[in-house]
Amino acid sequence: MKIKMIVHPHAYELQQAHLDQAHITNQPLVEKPFWYENTETGQTYYDLQGCVGWPTEVSEKDEGRPGYVAIVGIVKSKKQENPENAVFQLLAEMESKDVPTLMNKMIALRADYGFGLHPNLFETWFGDPERCVTMLAIKNERLTASGDDRQAILITPPDDFYEPTRFDEYVRSMRSCIMPDNPRFYMGHNKILKNRLRKFLRDDPAVTAVGGLVHSLLRRCAWLDQTSENAFVIEEGI
């Protein structure tokens, strides 16, 4: 496992202090009293998110484009004064034209990046919940055979997924984060998404998957707590 969870030694006291300060300053969001650290690089994250783009349909003239899965970290940096403006880092990516293989890659990636450290970590993946339903159901039946439903792979649609202009919106959101004057999404040494962006075929699984994830992150700011909720969850025993 490449990720460890860091919990502040006085988590509840810190959270209450954050909430009190937020109420005084009329801020709707506050930092959570726990975060994640990459044990290989030392990089820290407010949260980690996964996304999937299923392989495109096969036709007589086209064998289809590979499906794609990726892990994106919301970076917690001392240099970033406002956590709402946290940058996004593409940490890992894989591709396959075979759906069962793609699902196995999802399982391998989430295991590498901290699955099980917190109940909400990789609880769902951003993607199309209406594709590959039967194969996903079969895989989940096997994953939950021990009675632990948390092992299932759950897919949730990104924001605006059912809009006819979703691909355009996802591309705009992604491009807004890689512009030289506003760099907020970093791909590092990962090459799959970079190559797909160069080819830029409409509805490409990789571009749609990461674009939808980035689009949703920009709209939700889900790595922070809502002050109105006044609650957070930490794994039992920590």
pLDDT per position in the chain (238 positions), as tens?
A: 899 999 865 545 555 555 555 555 556 567 788 899 999 999 999 999 999 999 998 777 778 899 999 999 999 988 877 888 999 999 999 999 999 999 999 999 999 999 999 999 999 999 999 999 999 999 999 999 999 999 999 999 999 999 999 999 999 999 999 988 889 999 999 999 999 999 889 999 999 999 999 999 999 888 887 655 444 444 444 4
Q: Which CATH number characterizes residue 168's domain?
A: 3.30.420
Instruction: Report if residue 235 sits inside a domain.
Output: no
The total of other beta-carbon atoms located within 10 Å of residue 47's CB is 20
pLDDT of residue 21: 58
Phi and psi torsions of 100, nearest 5°: -60, -40
Within a domain: residue 158? Answer: yes
Range of the domain at 106: 3-226
Q: Indicate whether 237 belongs to any domain.
A: no
Q: Cα 87–93–99 angle (5° rounding)?
A: 135
Residue 234 covered by a domain: no
Say how many domains are in the chain. Answer: 1
Residue 68 lies in a domain: yes
pLDDT of residue 19: 54
Q: Which pLDDT value is given to residue 237?
A: 40
- 110 lies in a domain? yes
β-pairing verdict for 125-126 and 155-156 = parallel
187 within domain boundaries: yes
Establish if 164 belongs to a structural domain. yes
